[in-house]
Amino acid sequence: MSGGEFEPRIVVFACNWCSYAGIDLAGTSRIKYPHNVRIVKVMCSGRVHPEMVLKALEEGADGVLITGCHPGDCHYISGNYKAMRRYLLLKKLLGELGLSDRVRLEWVSASEGERWARVSSDFVEHIRKLGPLRLKEVMEGE
């Protein structure tokens, strides 16, 4: 696959209370965001287990974007802090595995449709530059 044709496949985990509503707002406000994202709604960013992120990469995602409420705004008080700590450690682990920069955590509130569009476009472009991951193919090939 040449760089020009490559369309990144991005899995997004979006929390029910802030980020998913923010993405929805982008939609109803007709703010454009890239079609590369596959959005999975979860109740809280603190529910996103590292296993889910690794599974997404293993099954063919080129990048994973976790989104949640801004610090202090979590519907469940501290779920986003849990997400942050897990993410930081996961980022370090992925760096060791040669996969740094494939996963990102961003805070998107329910009123930030614009921010969502910016955050998702940035991430898609970033992954586009990195190129396709094709994890299974690379790891299982000879």
Q: Determine, following the binding rule CB under 8 A, whether residue 99 of this chain makes contact with another protein.
A: yes
Q: Which stretch binds another protein (CB under 8 A): 6-14, 16-24, 37-45, 132-140?
A: 132-140
Q: Determine, following the binding rule CB under 8 A, whether residue 77 of this chain makes contact with another protein.
A: no
Rg (C-alpha) for the chain, rounded Å, is: 15
Phi/psi for 77 (5° steps) reads 75, -55
Distances in Å between the alpha carbon of 60 and those of 28, 33, 83, 134, 135?
A: 30, 21, 23, 6, 7
Binding another protein (rule: CB under 8 A), the pick from 57, 64, 103, 119 is: 57
SS3 content of the chain, % helix, strand, coil (to 5): 45, 15, 40
Q: Which stretch binds another protein (CB under 8 A): 9-17, 21-29, 45-53, 116-124?
A: 45-53
End-to-end CA, the chain: 19
Q: Determine, following the binding rule CB under 8 A, whether residue 11 of this chain makes contact with another protein.
A: no
Binding residues for another protein, rule: CB under 8 A, are 49-51, 54-55, 57-58, 71, 78, 81-82, 84-86, 88-90, 92-93, 95-101, 130-131, 133, 135, 138-139, 141-142
